[in-house]
Structure 1
Amino acid sequence: MSASHVFIVDEVPELEDASDLVMVTVLEGFLDAGGAAQSALSHLLETDQGRVVATFEIDAFYDYRARRPPMTFAEDHYEDYQAPRLVCRLVHDAAGVPFLLLHGPEPDTHWEAFCAAVRTVVEHFGVSLVVSWGAVPMAVPHTRPVMITHHGNRPELVTRSSMWRGAIRIPASALALLELRLGEWGHAATGFVAHVPHYLAQVDYPLSAIPLLTAAAEATGLQWDLTGLHARAAARADDIATQVAESAEVRDVVAGLEQQYDAFHRPDDDERLPLAEDGELPTGDELGAQFERFLADLDEGDRDDKGR
């Protein structure tokens, strides 16, 4: 079956009698500080690669010149072209419950067509709830719990109180538009955004993936074994602690962020969350060089680990 730039497997017997089917959506390229959503996705696929039940027509959505796919040149010829893929898989949680996992690059163009294509998948398989993951850089310390912003296109879907006051204008994303459009089409959609320390936004920070998976489990009833992810997060936390201990300037910044974080968690009707670009935060140019060295050391540690 093909419709709206998506090709769907005609028969999936396992889903014929499925009730309360959930679709988890994870897109690369935007709104994923610290690689939180990708870490959560990788953890799920390590457990169950599943079966592709829908394939999106990537040529309709992908800008090849902006994000050139990798390929290999071997001496005198080209080989091993790694084509981008935007697919929906049928996978299972730890209890064997089936759910759909839509993942791939965020569409560069034709967002409305992409939303229509996802709608086709949702209605074809009778999906009852679409869940999205993301992460944003925030002026928060790594020594405090990772906070989550919960959003949804129906009030009853949002079970966590919002930390925001009022409204802000933000850059749009394909997932944000998808949630909006699904609501207009009568389909339930909700999402969770992790708040990642802004000084760790460009490096792998698996700790931020854990609350995304935990929040989604609470909202859907799906179950995932997070043992391996906890181990990765603990190893990364040790790396960060080592680097922080070697820099008095970074320690001072973290201490300032801790005080700010704790202050914003006091009961106060006027509290609001600090964005990473807020001008009064202790992250001025005088600390830039320290953080650059801090991140460079973490990146060097990543390369050493991969080389072993």
Structure 2
Amino acid sequence: MESPLVTWYPEGVAAWAAVAPQEGAVLMHSLRGFIDAGRAGALVAQHILEEAEPVRVASFDIDQLLDYRSRRPEMTFSVNEWTAYDEPHLDLDLVTDAEATPFLLLHGFEPDVRWEGYVRAVRQITERLGVELVLGAYGIPMAAPHTRPLTATVHGTSQDLLPDAPSLFGTVTVPASAQNVMEYRFGQWGLAAINVAVHVPHYLAQSPYPQAAQKAMEVLEDISGLALSTDALDDEAARAQEEITRQATESQEVQALVTQLEEQYDAYLDQREGAIGLDGPLPSAEELGAEFERFLQQQRGDTPPGA
């Protein structure tokens, strides 16, 4: 029995059936929720949609999944009328990479409710469309400077699917997301799911950070074999870098913060070189949990940025 949460588009289903890879079909997902520092995942989805010519395959009934009271979409009022509405959606599109290889992209608003029903529906989608690998990307705030190489944590349902890299984390408890619950359930079902968490400097977590999206796509490319060109983000990344440099130059407080993080980063490399390679510093589980909670508080409006 198919999920009542999903509406299928016959033309899109037929289009996918005509071009779907015989093996290794990929479904990538990026949801607009509160766990996406630097809008890393959102920028990945936006970039893919702009570069491809998406064909709608299916849509979720977002009205059943969104709590409008806790996450109100924005509207624009001009003079004496409403002129725009950031209409909630959760859609599955057929897209292609830079080499015309087809894959599926699930994008839109993260469900607030009925997570289990949503996850089961995604499983049904993968089974119906022959998807063998589900991929996701998002950003997490980290105590790391923007002047050092971006790093990422790759986690998934099977160690065999993950890059051959030493573990950088111990054990940490953080609030759940629909994206990570889906990975957890897929693991229980023996299905392949991988997520890429880009480490975004915590002082940049509230603003779009194209560099994080570029890092995410580089890792997703390595995992999936898709050709996800990031060239179109170069100009945005350059502008972001210029703005960060300007603000750092004008603020002694920002300069001091970056210098402190650089010293911690370099000290970490000196201590760990040869043990885990040069993948950048990570805070302890306690520090990560504290920074993550601070990020979520800012997203909810409990704490002002920079507090």
Q: Decide which moves more: 123-132 or 234-243.
A: 234-243
* Candidates 118, 121, 134, aligned match of 2:138: 134
2:36 and 2:42 in contact (8 A); partners too: yes
Residue type at the aligned position of 1:179: E
Q: Residues 98-141 of structure 1, C-alpha deviation per residue, up to 9 Å, x if partnerless?
A: 00000111110010000011111111101010001111111100
1:146 and 1:196 in contact (8 A); partners too: yes
Residue type at the aligned position of 2:287: D
RMSD: 2.8
Alignment of 1:55-204 (within 5 A): 55-71=59-75, 80-204=84-208
User: What 5-or-longer segments of structure 1 have no aligned partner?
Assistant: 282-293, 296-308
Alignment of 1:243-254 (within 5 A): 243-254=247-258
User: What 5-or-longer segments of structure 2 have no aligned partner?
Assistant: 291-304
Q: Residues 131-155 of structure 1, C-alpha deviation per residue, up to 9 Å, x if partnerless?
A: 0111111110010111100001011
| C-alpha spacing 1:49/1:264, structure 2 compared with 1 (3 Å) | farther
| C-alpha spacing 1:182/1:65, structure 2 compared with 1 (3 Å) | same
Residue type at the aligned position of 1:63: D
The total of aligned residue pairs comes to 284
Equivalent residue number for residue 8 of structure 1: 8
Runs of 4 or more consecutive aligned structure 1 residues displaced over 3 Å after TM superposition: 70-82, 268-272, 275-279
1:36 and 1:206 in contact (8 A); partners too: yes
Residue type at the aligned position of 2:155: H
1:22 and 1:130 in contact (8 A); partners too: yes
3-state SS of 2:195 partner: strand
Say whether 1:274 aligns with 2:246.
no
CA distance in 2, matches of 1:31, 1:160: 26
3-state SS of 1:130 partner: strand
3-state SS of 2:68 partner: coil
1:34 and 1:202 in contact (8 A); partners too: yes
Q: Residues 53-110 of structure 1, C-alpha deviation per residue, up to 9 Å, x if partnerless?
A: 0111112211112222344557766665443110110000010000000011111001
- Alpha-carbon distance, 1:165 to partner: 3.8
The alignment-based identity, stated in percent, is: 39
Residue type at the aligned position of 2:162: V
Say whether 1:51 aligns with 2:55.
yes
- Alpha-carbon distance, 1:43 to partner: 1.1
CA distance in 2, matches of 1:73, 1:141: 39
3-state SS of 2:287 partner: coil
